Structure 1
Amino acid sequence: MLDSKIMISSSAVPAAALELLIEQGFDTTSVDELAAAAGISRSTFFRRFGSKENMVFADQEMIITHLQTVLGTSSAPALQALVDAVGVVFDQYTANPPAAELRHRLLQEVPSLRDRELVSTHRFERAFNGYLTSRGLFAAPEEHALRLGISAGIVAIHNDHLRTWLRDHTATSREALAEDARRFLNRFSDILLPGSDATAPPTGHTVVVSVINGPVDQQLVLDEVARALRETPLK
């Protein structure tokens, strides 16, 4: 199985280039200036990134690919595989705090980059959706929306923890993220965990009849049970 602890190279997004974009402005900073800040030539910059926008999100492309590989090679039950995978994504984003903070600040200042971030969010959702599809989970036509909702929910939980971490690194952790993701996914454990009986009847009221101190009129007992059922129907 692939080692899920592999870290994406911190050089994927040069911190010095991000600092320059913040200092000078995204639109007013040239590619030549970014290449110089990153310590590479102009031709290498274009070969490696293609554009300024692609440079800002260079590691996200790698993280999405890594996520797909981690999910595709996991032999764990689906629920655990999903929890592990969302932790892997969090690990990647928090591995280089200075670069993560710089990009977050840059995204707050540049609307076009925020739009690009939304595209990346949808790609993460598709990665989780693709995994569920490949496992044949929520495969019925009427479960399509549910599968999409679960995929979006996992990403939303991750992003909420990442935003919390960006504000205060001590306010959350990988473990806290995993706990929230598991709590959410446990609602679908009848499908995501092996051996679960999705057709088991729900637990309802239990009727107990006790006979104490001698014989009891059978019809009286039946009448009392019938009355109790009418007043408190089984759910």
Structure 2
Amino acid sequence: MSTEAGVSDSADFRMQVVAESIRLFAEHGYEATSVDVVAAAAGVSRRTLFRQFRSKEDLIFADHEELLAGVAERLRERDDDPWWAVCAAAEGVFAHFADHRELAVGRYRVVAQVPALRDRELVTTYRYQRLFEESLRRRLPDVPRVRIVAYAAAVTGAHNLLLRQMVRGDETATAQFLHDELRRIHATTQRHERAGATAVTVVTHSADLTPDEVADIVRNRLTRH
């Protein structure tokens, strides 16, 4: 890549730099690979690279920034089931890394060797969970926060576990497997909502009935339903 303008501001360019930096870090070591080497491999100047990426850490996690922005936008736009909207967002993130599996595997290997990068990865993971929580709180203001946090953590945890298994070569860690697990998490929440719902039974009766007779009518009505 030789252009310094236009293309250097595109999402494709950023993804290419992420992939190139991870390749170099994996081959030569994170500490041993300078930003200048990454810039040369990407065909841009050091200045252009720092205009797009503030640090070496950003070179590795830049696609996460794009994903986080996309997740936030999609969650704002959705008007369907709020609980499933969060699951769908998690599926979208998994699909991205499944489509760029080589990049995900390379990053996993680099991050595993550098404590500072592992810390950054944990923070990045939590940012997805926070987006899920914020979406649920915004759309379900009457739901207790503890339930929202627990749900967002369950969705995030299932996604992260299967993602790690996928990059480690586990062929059972598929998008369909994730979908099925998220369906189970979602179904549990729906059962709790139904269990907490209030049922109202309307009974009409003659004004001259005794309280015991009215009670019998109510009992019979509830038994039928």
Same fold per TM (> 0.5)? yes
Find the counterpart in structure 1 of residue 214 from structure 2.
Answer: none
Find the counterpart in structure 1 of residue 100 from structure 2.
Answer: 96
Contact 1:10–1:96 (Cα < 8 Å) also in 2: no
Higher normalized helix content (fraction of residues): 2
Q: Aligned-pair distance for 1:33?
A: 0.7
Find the counterpart in structure 2 of residue 175 from structure 1.
Answer: 176
Q: Aligned-pair RMSD on alpha carbons?
A: 2.1
Residues 211-222 of structure 1 aligned to structure 2 (within 5 Å): none
Deviations 1:137-182 (A, max 9, x none): 554xxx2222212111111000011111112263222121011011
Q: Distance in 2 between matches of 1:109 and 1:168?
A: 18
Gaps spanning 5+ residues in structure 2: where?
Answer: 1-10, 200-225
Gaps spanning 5+ residues in structure 1: where?
Answer: 1-7, 202-235
TM-score, L = length of structure 1: 0.73
Amino acid at match of 2:151: I
Contact 2:75–2:135 (Cα < 8 Å) also in 1: yes
Contact 2:18–2:61 (Cα < 8 Å) also in 1: no
Specify the structure having the higher radius of gyration (Cα).
1
Contact 1:14–1:38 (Cα < 8 Å) also in 2: no
Contact 2:67–2:93 (Cα < 8 Å) also in 1: yes
Q: Aligned-pair distance for 1:200?
A: 5.4
Contact 2:83–2:136 (Cα < 8 Å) also in 1: no
SS where residue 57 of structure 1 aligns?
helix
Q: 1:181 to 1:138 in 2, by over 3 A?
A: farther
Find the counterpart in structure 1 of residue 50 from structure 2.
Answer: 46
Q: Aligned-pair distance for 1:191?
A: 6.8
Larger RCO of the pair (alpha carbons < 8 Å, separation 6+): 1
Q: Distance in 1 between matches of 2:64 and 2:21?
A: 16
SS where residue 179 of structure 1 aligns?
helix
Q: Distance in 2 between matches of 1:170 and 1:160?
A: 13
Deviations 1:18-69 (A, max 9, x none): 1211222212221111111222211111011111101100000110111111
Find the counterpart in structure 2 of residue 158 from structure 1.
Answer: 159
Contact 1:138–1:147 (Cα < 8 Å) also in 2: no
TM-score, L = length of structure 2: 0.76
Corresponding pairs, count: 188
Amino acid at match of 2:148: R
Q: Distance in 1 between matches of 2:43 and 2:192?
A: 50
Contact 1:93–1:100 (Cα < 8 Å) also in 2: yes
